[in-house]
Amino acid sequence: MSLVELKDVVKRYGQNTVLNGVSLAVEKGEIIAIIGRSGSGKSTMLRCVNGLEPIQGGTVAFDGTVVNDPKTDLRALRQHVGIVFQSFNLFPHLSVGKNITLAPKVVKGVPQGEARKLAEAVLRKVGLGEKIDAYPDQLSGGQQQRVAIARSLAMSPQLMLFDEITSALDPELVGDVLKVLEEVAREGMTMMLVTHEIGFARKVAHRVVFMHEGKIWEQGPAAATLGRPATPELETFLSAVLH
Amino acid sequence: MIRELSFNDLLYLIAAMRWTLALTGIAFLGGSLVGLSVALLRVAPFAPARWLGTFYVHAVQGTPLLAWLFVFFFGLSIVGVTVSPWVAAAAAYSIYAGAFLGEIWRGCLQAIPKTQWEAGASLGLSFMEQLRYIIAPQGFRLAIPPTVGFLVQLIKNTSLAAVIGFIELTREGQLTTATTFRPFTVYLIVAALYFALCFPLTQLSSRLERRLHVAR
């Protein structure tokens, strides 16, 4: 059984169909890069996986649990599915340490001392061990994004979703964040990442999924798919992003 | 019979402030409880709850406070229920303040970006946990100035309770005027006493706001 399974997923905003029959299976340990123009539905698809977007048709399943079933306990599900957003979404009123320990303490009931140690450990992993008592607005964008990754890691998810996490960063800060991503990938985390970093996708992803007009237009092993696009749409897209 | 305005009159006016303060306290306490419920209803992820909250706010904001005081004090006694002026005032002011505070606080909660809710939800927090740990603490800082602003209004609006028998600051001023016939001086004193209540509050508000800003 695949860890994530999307079947004929349809998502509409009013008259506007954003996902038009998307089917995708992600195996445990797999790293999937999702690319495509803005508006092609890639972020929406990602947000369907942890139930942030209700869908109008098809099914989304995680580890055998149907995410779009109204009876599904999304709270329980989300403890296993981490997501990192383009705009970081750190909690500005909490220190870095408290940003990280909030969910383990509240959702999992981890005691304060242990939660703090957990925060120290995940912060070291993203190279920000000394920032535990800083506040988000004292950090650069790249640092904030690494804290957001650490916050997600602290819940020890089985799957991590990354929604264009380097798109809001200054170019010189992108590298540090990608390095952290690579580190997480090396540890065997199952990852789905929406990205515009084609080079990074080629290097880290096992599989590339190209989305176009709300559909999965083309997919396959990263190097082959990016090296020899089968459809003119992917070719056009690649030549546009790689100039 | 007209007599001279004396120092004792000033003491009486100051003493009457205790009713103004007590009424304000009750109104704010009751109003906070109602207001909190209204704000929660208005942001609830359940449409009928939001409708109920909206209906309440529109109904109360569209009716005069005086009418509520009359309903509870005179209205209930017509149907055979005798209520003390305190109970009537507490009920009427809670209903009134609850609608306004609820609306103020709803605005503060909704001013927090939706992405903050999403970040909380994605970490597995429930609606109430998101509200408690993420949204409310951020909304609290925003809420201080308008809440204090409303509290100042409330202090001044307690004078309406005179119609059901409370001799609070304004009513005491009227009575003093009636016996001394020195309206200008008396109401100047009354105004100064209201100012003495309200000014420290607005000062406190800006201090709190500054302090919470530094500490985030």
What local confidence, expressed as pLDDT, does residue B1 receive?
Answer: 59
Q: How confident is the model at residue B208 (pLDDT cuts 50, 70, 90)?
A: confident
Q: Which residue has the tokens 């990938």?
A: A185
Work out the minimum CA distance from B164 to partner chain A, whole angstroms: 45
What integer is the mean pLDDT of A149-164?
Answer: 96
Q: What is the pLDDT of residues B123-157, one digit of tens each?
A: 999 999 999 999 999 998 889 989 999 999 999 99
Residue of A65, A83, A106 best to disrupt the B interface, most CBs of B under 10 A: A106
Q: Which residues of A touch B133 (CB under 8 A)?
A: 102, 106
> What are the distances in angstroms from CA B182 to CA A209, B173, B189?
86, 10, 11
Exposure class string for A84-111: b at 16+ Cβ within 10 A, else e: bbbbbbbbbbbbbbbbbbbbbbbbeebe
What integer is the mean pLDDT of B187-199?
Answer: 94
* ipTM of the prediction: 0.92
Asked if B114 has any chain A CB less than 8 Å from its own CB, the reply is: no
Q: Is the pLDDT of residue A156 over 60?
A: yes
Q: What is the pLDDT of residues A184-205, one digit of tens each?
A: 999 999 999 999 889 899 989 9
Question: Cα–Cα distance between B100 and B95 in angstroms, integer?
Answer: 9
Torsion of Cα atoms, B156 then B157 then B160 then B162, to 10°: -40
Q: What is the CATH number of domain B7-214?
A: 1.10.3720.10
Question: Cα–Cα distance between A194 and A162 in angstroms, integer?
Answer: 6
Work out the minimum CA distance from A108 to partner chain B, whole angstroms: 9
Work out the percent of chain A whose per-residue pLDDT is above 70: 100
Q: What is the pLDDT of residues A87-112, one digit of tens each?
A: 999 999 999 999 999 999 999 999 99
Contact between chains at B125 and A152 (C-beta distance less than 8 A): no
Q: Which residues of B touch A91 (CB under 8 A)?
A: 116, 119-120, 134, 138
Q: What is the pLDDT of residues A24-65, one digit of tens each?
A: 999 999 999 999 998 899 999 999 999 999 999 999 999 999
Closest CA to A44 of A173, A213, A174, A177: A213
Asked if B153 has any chain A CB less than 8 Å from its own CB, the reply is: no
Q: Are the beta carbons of A123 and A96 closer than 8 angstroms?
A: yes
Work out the minimum CA distance from A51 to partner chain B, whole angstroms: 9
Question: Cα–Cα distance between A149 and A203 in angstroms, integer?
Answer: 20
Question: Cα–Cα distance between A60 and A71 in angstroms, integer?
Answer: 14
Q: Are the beta carbons of A155 and A82 closer than 8 angstroms?
A: yes
Of the candidates A78, A87, A89, the beta carbon closest to that of B124 is on A78
Q: What is the pLDDT of residues B49-79, one digit of tens each?
A: 999 999 999 999 999 999 999 999 998 888 8
Contact between chains at B115 and A152 (C-beta distance less than 8 A): no
Of the candidates B115, B124, B134, the beta carbon closest to that of A85 is on B115
Q: How confident is the model at residue A220 (pLDDT cuts 50, 70, 90)?
A: very high
Q: Which residues of A touch B123 (CB under 8 A)?
A: 78, 102-103, 107, 151-152, 155
pTM tops 0.90, yes or no:
no
Amino acid at B15: A
Q: How confident is the model at residue B213 (pLDDT cuts 50, 70, 90)?
A: low
Q: How confident is the model at residue B165 (pLDDT cuts 50, 70, 90)?
A: confident
Q: How far is CA A188 from the centre of its chain?
A: 15
Closest CA to A52 of B124, B128, B112: B124
Residue A146, Cβ density class (10 Å: 0-12 exposed, 13-18 middle, ≥19 buried) = buried
Question: Cα–Cα distance between B164 and B70 in angstroms, integer?
Answer: 8
Q: Where are the beta strands (DSSP E) in chain A?
A: 4-13, 16-26, 31-36, 57-62, 65-66, 81-84, 159-163, 190-194, 207-212, 215-221
Question: Cα–Cα distance between A68 and A189 in angstroms, integer?
Answer: 24
Of the candidates A91, A135, A155, the beta carbon closest to that of B124 is on A155
Of the candidates A78, A91, A93, the beta carbon closest to that of B122 is on A78
